[in-house]
Structure 1
Amino acid sequence: MEAKKNPDADLRKNSLFYLALGLALVTFLIWQGMEWTAYDEVVKEETVDLIESDEEEMIITEQLQQPPPPPPHPAPEIIEVVEDEEEVEETVIESTETTEDEVIEEVEDVEVVEEEEVIEDVPFSVIEDAPIFPGCEKYKSKAERKKCMSEKVQKHVNKKFNTELASDLDLEGVQKIFVVFKIDRSGNITDVRSRAPHPRLAKEAEKVIKSLPKMKPGKQRGKPVGVNYTLPIVFKVQ
């Protein structure tokens, strides 16, 4: 009995090839389906997140609306006019312009009183006209009168000062006393101050200076001024 089919047309010889091709095709389709589904879900989730975040921002940035201010009170229908009972005097400003008919009175000369220049006290070393000690008027030049006054003051102190006081105080050696005083604008002795090794010596020096006679005041630029005088008293205790 002869076979009806052609041996070359037998499909079983390529069955393995077709099986592998089918599996590959099915795998490809499954993979494509999985990729397409996963992409849709991701996009959906992202869209939801964006919408939710927008809602949150809208809630945070929402501003509270302030209520409108109350309406103003209505004006009164009737306005009462209050009369001012007090009378106000009107101020009349007179013109300062003059006319040809007006007579202008002559103003007397106004005396200008010059203020006297006050000169501060001047040291004896730079005074222009030194105070004049009684008995020094005989000298004509300023330098001679100045020298005479210094000599007279020194002689007066040497005569009046009690040097034995230092021995009573058990002081030894050279004793130095500095006295400062002023001959004021009237020629009187004022502002006597002293510095000494012992208070009793300072007191003795002040007493002697205060006993100086009144002098003619010194002058600066032709005006009487106070003159400051400094006198050192030096003696040695044997």
Structure 2
Amino acid sequence: MLPIKKNPEIEIGRNSSLYFAIGLNLMLFFSWQALEYKTYEKSEVEIDVLTIEAEREEEIPVININTPPPPPPPIAYSESIQIVDDVVEVEETIMESSETNQNEAISNTDKGVIGVSDVKVVYVEEDVEVAFAVIEDVPVYPGCEGLSKSETKDCFQRKVQEHVIKNFNYPETALQMGIQGRVSVIFIIDSKGVTTGIRSRGPDKILEREAERIIGLLPKMQPGKQRGKPVRVAYAVPIYFKYQER
């Protein structure tokens, strides 16, 4: 008896790897769909019926306003005109022109003409202010008379310094408060030699007042001159307020 041979066409195990791959892909596809599946909550929607009532139109009563009657038409007055003969002659006033012409101006040259010699010219001296550094003739401090221009200038500066040292007085209030510093004082020696226009700038008002007091005690001097005429001369001097701690 011959052995039975298997039919190769109906052999199941031959395509087992293909079937396994197809089944694996199907399982992966279903797993992916299961993971991607989304559910949403169902919300309840209430549907109401909106009823709109017809708007009532109110009847507005008509009110008759008593308006005043129009004013009566103007009354026409009849004027009676009576022509009367002139009895009194009225003289008309003749208005003469007040304008003048060239002929009239020439004809009046002989009457009240003002000549050039009758005009008085008043010269007003200008109050010029010149800085001390550029003045031709500096003010002469008492005791500096009879010197040259350069010597007079040096003498003036030396005398001002001596005056500051002689009249210097440190304010007690500034000492107690510990105030010190430099005070710049600017003043003017006017055309009469008097010290005016004192201004100062410093660290405190107490020191400024003391510096102005010292400069205000300057004596009267011979005024400075520019081109031979007395002028105002501006001068500046520093005053140092400094104390030594013990």
1:6-25 deviation digits (Å, cap 9, x = unpaired): xxxxxxxxxxxxxxxxxxxx
1:146-174 deviation digits (Å, cap 9, x = unpaired): 111111011100111113644333236xx
1:150 and 2:150 correspond: no
1:124-148 deviation digits (Å, cap 9, x = unpaired): 1111111111111131x11111111
Give 1:181 shift: 0.7
1:226 aligned to which of 227, 232, 239: 232
Distance 1:187 1:84, change over 3 A: farther
| 1:190 alignment counterpart | 196
One-letter amino acid of the counterpart of residue 153, structure 1 = V
| 2:33 alignment counterpart | none
One-letter amino acid of the counterpart of residue 224, structure 2 = G
- Please give the TM-score of this superposition, normalised by the length of structure 1: 0.53
Looking at CA atoms only, which structure, 1 or 2, has the larger radius of gyration? 1
Distance 1:87 1:152, change over 3 A: same
1:178-232 deviation digits (Å, cap 9, x = unpaired): 0011111111111111112121111000000000001111111111111111111
1:95-150 deviation digits (Å, cap 9, x = unpaired): 747xxxx9xxxx794465362452521111111111111111131x1111111111
Structure 2 unaligned blocks of 5 or more: 1-88
| 2:177 alignment counterpart | 169
- Please give the TM-score of this superposition, normalised by the length of structure 2: 0.52
SS of the residue corresponding to residue 127 of structure 1 reads: coil
One-letter amino acid of the counterpart of residue 85, structure 1 = E
Distance 1:179 1:89, change over 3 A: same
Distance 1:182 1:84, change over 3 A: farther
Q: How many residues align?
A: 149
Distance 1:120 1:161, change over 3 A: same
Q: State the alpha-carbon separation in 2 of the partners of residues 143 and 116 from structure 1.
A: 31
Q: State the alpha-carbon separation in 2 of the partners of residues 221 and 149 from structure 1.
A: 20
Give 1:235 shift: 4.5
Q: State the alpha-carbon separation in 2 of the partners of residues 219 and 137 from structure 1.
A: 14
Q: State the alpha-carbon separation in 1 of the partners of residues 116 and 201 from structure 2.
A: 60
Q: State the alpha-carbon separation in 2 of the partners of residues 236 and 108 from structure 1.
A: 67
What pairs up with 1:1-238 in 2 under 5 angstroms?
85-88=91-94, 96=106, 109-110=117-118, 113=121, 115-139=123-147, 141-163=148-170, 165=172, 166-171=174-179, 175-238=181-244
One-letter amino acid of the counterpart of residue 161, structure 2 = Q
Bigger proportion of residues as helix: 1
SS of the residue corresponding to residue 166 of structure 2 reads: helix
Q: State the alpha-carbon separation in 1 of the partners of residues 200 and 96 from structure 2.
A: 74
| 2:45 alignment counterpart | none
Give 1:84 shift: 7.7
Percent of pairs identical after alignment?
46
| 1:74 alignment counterpart | none
Question: How much is the aligned-residue C-alpha RMSD, in angstroms?
Answer: 3.3
| 1:11 alignment counterpart | none
One-letter amino acid of the counterpart of residue 118, structure 1 = E
Q: State the alpha-carbon separation in 1 of the partners of residues 183 and 196 from structure 2.
A: 18
Q: State the alpha-carbon separation in 1 of the partners of residues 116 and 182 from structure 2.
A: 65
Q: State the alpha-carbon separation in 1 of the partners of residues 151 and 90 from structure 2.
A: 89
